[in-house]
Structure 1
């Protein structure tokens, strides 16, 4: 069947070719080496491989030495000798031959060893061929594979670097600063992001390359970025002529940059374009299929990183706004005190957490200072913090004692139906006397910086964290009382300022004490200095800081204090309180206003006894300052606030507060945890 088909075809006369012709055309020759005589026969094709004429060869291997460099000959002889010795039946080797012109080219020999019955080698029959093109093709493949691996590693390395980028600028910096751009051979890059139907150029190539009017461009304009965003397909510009012809509006402005080719890639995330990136080249033209695939893969990785960065920046803006809304907008000016507050978010996370501070002005020259930390670093922690801050402020403003403020806040948090707990320190300072009452709820101890700059820890007995104490029924919070002298500073902070991974808390407190001791005296500068350390350290926890310093001058000092309890239906106690007021007026040099003071005090005491169910506590004190003042306070256990009323028909009731308002220089009502305090003040002359 095959013979019939072949005979029916028109074939050349010399078909099939003789093996000698096939070998000669492929630069391959034969040799036959008789090992006993040492004669080495080589045909014409074999001699041609060695670039040797027939009359130059006598049949001895030594004649080939002029064509084989000594190092190659020694290596080839050693290879053949080893094959003969170890019983091998074949051998093969690549070696170099020196041509008549002095150049080197690669050859290959393959020999079959013939042995007698005893195994002694007697003859080698083989071939020799020109391997120059073979090895060139092989080297090209190796180089091509290496180049492909290099480009793949560039994508992998760039992707790994982009994994740490948090913002869009971080992504651009990675591309500009990493070796990925250099390895890809690009001169520079341009990046544009889609915003409100336009493309915003956020990276504009090398210095001086920005084209005026291209910061914002429409997607329908004739620019390469606009094209890839519209079509969602990459655009590979093969040459300068291609660039000039395709984009005549842009090209005249960038001609001087020496751009010879460019690759513009759409940045696609979740099936929608978010921007485009352009890689500009100045020393190449054209792109191979492998190069295009690598660039497309790189564009996909960059798109995911930019989308992640954009979402992070949106979250960051939202978090910053929420954090600002939760923390106090401003710290009130407190007479007799200097205050500095700071908040720093964690290095990782969403720039929001449960740390907070607060400053609460209280009646009678007192101030409440709060520092706290709700468990967690997310919006839920911030939401809980905001609610807890509000209720703490409300309980403190109502006049509850520090221990009661903490207990009620713990109950509130427990009833909030959240799994979060909070640590907190609440300090209530009377700036006129310097007495500070401290309550800790699972929080770290405060620090005290003395006027001479030395700093020490204030060990304060504490209770359980807020929320947990209510859950376990342990609402007793012990109070620690200290005295804050003029010039001394109370430091309250969250544990992010002192805690470091792998370090002991006591070591952190000692480090903080050393920083405070060596820090600036100015309160604001000291707060900045402490936060700089936190920023440099890049901790993984939020930090809230509150510094409160009692001023040393112009403080209202207590010049005296008298107090009397008056029970209902106790005329003698009421008369005794009136005598106490009269004596205080005479002793403190306020005789000129004695009638006004005594009448006003009597009205306040009478109102308390008539309109409440319990007794009253009457306090008289003199306050020194810019103006010396005599203050009368009447505390009762009723939360009902007094109000001015019109006099009744008999003209007897309803005039009390009207008299107080007319006679006193200033008066007011303060809520207290157990009721209220109605007070009035009179300016009295200084004693000489």
Structure 2
């Protein structure tokens, strides 16, 4: 008896579906079942496809793909419709997919199955529809949750919490590969120590997870008998857990098997095509999530390694001084940018403090920062003065960035930098500045002063740029702060508004321990942080932050003298406004507001006269000293000209000539002192004693005869 006759007797037909040519070969029984013309023959794919119910046809591609991936039979229950779309029968298809290049052929059978009763059909249709909707909702939720997981631990936690529709596993394990050994990345639903027998198995062990990793194909074990029959060697290890069904699926990323996922069930599971499809989809998402988490963890580890290697520890201690520092990286990427700080012991016994910011927040910026930091250390250790250190560093950076200009097409990079040397015994500070924000001094009485310093262009812009040095003394109890612009500008601020915000924080926290002050400064911008912050908080940062604080220890004098100084060059007339602002900051608690206005007016006049009537720069120095009953303000403006000013009587319409007249009217004392080279013009104001009436017009306001500022 022929095979065809036997198959026809049991209402079973044969077919061959060639995906490459788009033709389907049917025998006579298969053609009858498909409602196609009687007799064997070839039919177009579209003709055969038109005989399947549209809902059932949508499932076919997924079932075939799953069978190809698992090297199993593709089984499906399909409804056949006639030309009018009416369902005439239901068939069951069982086919073996055979890959031919990148396309496939299906070779198998179709068999008519009995129609269930109408009531059962309605119930089955309802159940099937509900299950499909539940499956789609589950896969969407699972995909979203796994996509948001940031670490391997989070991925495993999400995988353990997945509740699959109708067949949720109660035991999960994720296996990885370490050389030629099987490892367990994580598990759920087992007691502590249950994973020990499986943590170091050779990959050639007769164990389902090992075979899945070796072959890249899923293994389904619906019953304990299936497990015992296929894997007798390792069955005793699995038997003690009391499970009834197991699914082992490969974790594949970019065509490479990186591990295996086990889902174990306490109840029997048949692993129907739909159930296998769900498990396979979850395994794919799980593999992608683990791969992403692994990359993210590697980047974080690399980031922390770069931070540890590039951010120095503060030490050795500076005798008589306390130092604190913070570095907070910007968000994204490797969490390392171009900001840095450093502390360098010098041969002279001094200590150098450096802070800087290389343009950019990428890997190249971090690399240039490391090179520049080493160069600065080398130049400082050779004993060069601050101006020479920055000049050499600028030439170095210009050469490095120019040589690598064609590497990433981003053009030459520059860096801002502030380099200072401090003499611990005397508190003498010498500063050279390259396009960086000025330092800040918090005096012993809590006054916050932006310490104006001369400076040059950022490093790397002009290899021949000069960097003049500014000197001042840090008194006992005073704190020096240097920072990068990230501390000022984060949160939508510019340098001016950022400085105003920072000044309030410094005033409110003056006198606190230095470590607490460093934390408070960063918290004022970003919220709580640690010495080196990474993770979600760092991801929200707009710019790197580096801040370094230095306090000179010792008890301050009972009433310390408050000082400030700055220079105004011929080419920088805009710094006259800064001079006025510095004087107002110095006089922030002066009791007589009219005297403050007078002092600002006289300083503006004195500095302007130097720029207009001489060829040199103006050096402004101001101090507030305590007398027996009140305080005294003394301001000096020095210039290199030997020509002494003369008091004139300007007419009503004259535009100049009032400088000395103003000083004579507004100052309590004033004078002009010749120097070895140049001269110094000075004035003094005496703060009224407590309870004294300020000088002024009849109503206590400014004298109406005085010109407005």
Separation (CA, whole Å) in 1 of partners of 2:459 and 2:208: 60
Q: Which of 284, 287, 298 is 2:271 aligned to?
A: 287
Offset, 1:312: 3.4
> Are the equivalent residues in 2 in contact too, given 1:192–1:200 (CA < 8 A)?
yes
Deviations 1:116-171 (A, max 9, x none): xxxxxxxxxxxxxxxx9557535643543443343234334333333343432232
> Are the equivalent residues in 2 in contact too, given 1:157–1:180 (CA < 8 A)?
no
Offset, 1:260: 3.1
Deviations 1:434-457 (A, max 9, x none): 232334433344444445677565
Deviations 1:452-499 (A, max 9, x none): 6775654556544322344xx7x2445454432223332333344454
Q: Which residue of 1 aligns with 2:528?
A: 533
Q: Which residue of 2 aligns with 1:523?
A: 514
Q: Which residue of 1 aligns with 2:387?
A: 403
Q: Which residue of 2 aligns with 1:423?
A: 416
Separation (CA, whole Å) in 2 of partners of 1:306 and 1:499: 37
How do 1:57-456 and structure 2 match up within 5 A? 134=118, 137-138=121-122, 140-177=124-161, 179=162, 185-206=168-189, 208=191, 210-243=194-227, 245-247=229-231, 252=236, 258-328=242-312, 331-416=315-400, 417=402, 418=404, 419-451=412-444
Structure 2: runs of 5+ lacking an equivalent: 1-115, 405-411, 557-709
Separation (CA, whole Å) in 1 of partners of 2:461 and 2:436: 13
Highest CA radius of gyration, 1 or 2? 1
Separation (CA, whole Å) in 1 of partners of 2:437 and 2:420: 13
Q: Which residue of 2 aligns with 1:623?
A: none
Separation (CA, whole Å) in 2 of partners of 1:442 and 1:260: 72
> Are the equivalent residues in 2 in contact too, given 1:446–1:459 (CA < 8 A)?
yes
> Are the equivalent residues in 2 in contact too, given 1:327–1:386 (CA < 8 A)?
no
- For the pair 1:489 / 2:479, whether they are aligned, the reply is yes
Offset, 1:503: 4.9
> Are the equivalent residues in 1 in contact too, given 2:134–2:165 (CA < 8 A)?
no
1:387/1:296 CA distance change after superposition, 3 Å: same
1:307/1:211 CA distance change after superposition, 3 Å: closer
> Are the equivalent residues in 2 in contact too, given 1:335–1:365 (CA < 8 A)?
no
1:278/1:542 CA distance change after superposition, 3 Å: farther
Q: Which residue of 1 aligns with 2:550?
A: 548
Structure 1: runs of 5+ lacking an equivalent: 1-131, 555-688
- Superposed CA RMSD in Å reads 3.6
1:453/1:269 CA distance change after superposition, 3 Å: farther
When normalised by structure 2's length, the TM-score is 0.52
1:212/1:446 CA distance change after superposition, 3 Å: same
Offset, 1:202: 1.8
1:264/1:459 CA distance change after superposition, 3 Å: farther
1:188/1:493 CA distance change after superposition, 3 Å: farther
1:499/1:220 CA distance change after superposition, 3 Å: farther
Deviations 1:81-127 (A, max 9, x none): xxxxxxxxxxxxxxxxxxxxxxxxxxxxxxxxxxxxxxxxxxxxxxx
Q: Which residue of 2 aligns with 1:22?
A: none
Aligned residues: 420
> Are the equivalent residues in 1 in contact too, given 2:428–2:473 (CA < 8 A)?
yes
Separation (CA, whole Å) in 2 of partners of 1:272 and 1:328: 41
Separation (CA, whole Å) in 1 of partners of 2:453 and 2:245: 71
Separation (CA, whole Å) in 2 of partners of 1:461 and 1:133: 95
1:469/1:275 CA distance change after superposition, 3 Å: same
Tell which deviates more after alignment, 389-398 or 492-501.
492-501
